[in-house]
Amino acid sequence: MKKIKILLAEDDRNLGTVLKAYLDAKGHDTILAMDGEEALKAFYQEDFDFCILDVMMPLKDGFTVAKQIRKSNKSVPILFLTAKSQSQDIISGFNAGGDDYITKPFSMEELMARIKAIMRRTLPNLQEDLTHQIYKIGNYSFDFTSQILKIGDTEFNLTAKESELLKILVENANEVIDRSIILQNVWKDDSYFAARSMDVYISRLRKYLQEDRRVQIINSHKVGFRLVVPED
């Protein structure tokens, strides 16, 4: 499985530290939050490919955090850590927007297996067995499968969301794409918060692409965006 960015919310410092170390050792980028409010703050500031939420946390519990996440992101995978196995708690987790749960105590191998299973179902573009999709963008090459944008000897490791956004732009190069189409296809959401998030990601892509001045992302006022690339 390719590197993913994981939000880990666990108020038990010892367990959280061990889980973070394990996930990082597996090649992932893990951000540890110690309570529900810290988890939400991190989620709104970063782009995560996966969320692991302890159910019982101070300030905001895992179910509350999941519901808030789902208001702005309906597709990011969420796995709950719970000390309870009662059916009502499990149902509550799924109703809150969770994709799966794991009951404490659990082995690291089981945790990793569940993460991989969820990723296969929800983010197929991150699977290793897909054929590489490589796009030419001026002097850049963009490997969608590996999520790598390259120019000369410089490589940018994109997040899953950045890759999805760049893909829809390059597949419609030199044409204006309506904002609502991008939101529905990349964010699976057309809320105000998703729209603001999209603008942030557009800014990030512009920074990546500034090495070739012929390549630009143009904002068509109140309509959408156009990726300008040189014609062959």
Domain identity same for 179 and 117: no
158-216 per-position pLDDT tens digit: 988 899 899 989 988 898 988 888 888 888 777 888 888 999 999 999 999 999 999 99
Q: Could you give the CA distance from residue 187 to residue 50 in angstroms, rounded to a whole number?
A: 14
Q: Could you give the CA distance from residue 173 to residue 64 in angstroms, rounded to a whole number?
A: 40
User: What token pair was written down for 146?
Assistant: 């590996």
Distance of CA 63 to the CA centre of its chain: 19
- For residue 176, the domain's CATH number is 1.10.10.10
- For residue 109, the domain's CATH number is 3.40.50.2300
46-102 per-position pLDDT tens digit: 889 999 999 999 999 999 999 999 988 888 999 999 886 666 677 888 888 898 888
Domain count, the chain: 2
**What is the enclosing helix (H) or strand (E) of 52?**
strand 50-54
Q: Could you say which DSSP state residue 124 is in? A: G
User: In a 10 Å sphere around its CB, with 0-12 CB exposed, 13-18 middle and 19+ buried, how is residue 216 labelled?
Assistant: middle
Last residue of some domain: 97, 124, 151? 124
Cβ proximity of 54 and 84 under 8 Å: no
Q: What range does the domain containing 90 cover?
A: 5-124
Q: Could you give the CA distance from residue 168 to residue 103 in angstroms, rounded to a whole number?
A: 38
Residue 140 belongs to a domain: no
pTM higher than 0.85, yes or no? no
β partners of residue 5: 29
Q: Other C-beta atoms within 10 Å of 87: how many?
A: 8
